[in-house]
Amino acid sequence: LWTDDPLRAVDFYERIVGLTPVRLDEFRRGEAPFVSVRVSATTILDLMTRSAAPVVDAMAGTAGSAGHPVNHVCLAMPESAFQALQGRLEAHGIAVSAPMQQSFGARGLAPRAFYFRDLDGNVLEARYYQG
């Protein structure tokens, strides 16, 4: 995900979304080019500074594709975590979309889901599945 301020972004993802930073100390010491946040044991989101977009474009051979907000990353979680996230977002004044019911996704129908933006305009979806 692209950000103007990786430390502000990691604070948002840790404090409000509830994800754990990865390589934060190394990033602060200048030993890692970006910081990440852990979604699950097998998934992380990289928080890349937007100023690095030209380097990423060159590395990937895709001129002009890097540096734009993402729409969207879906975070599936247990119902209790879903409710806690919604509460933290609202407590911090982060707008959420109208709730969706029976929204189809990777694991079938989710009873409830909503969208929200991070501080850099990237769109995320939160949802939970039964069972």
User: From the DSSP assignment, how many helices (H) and strands (E) are in the chain?
Assistant: 4, 8
Report helix, strand or coil for 86: helix
Dig out the tokens for 51 from the structure: 């100023």
Residues 6+ apart with CB under 8 A from 58: none
Q: What is the pLDDT along the chain (131 residues), one digit of tens a residue?
A: 999 999 999 999 999 999 999 999 999 999 999 999 999 999 999 999 999 999 988 988 888 889 998 889 999 999 999 999 999 999 999 999 999 999 999 999 999 999 999 999 999 999 999 97
This prediction's pTM: 0.90
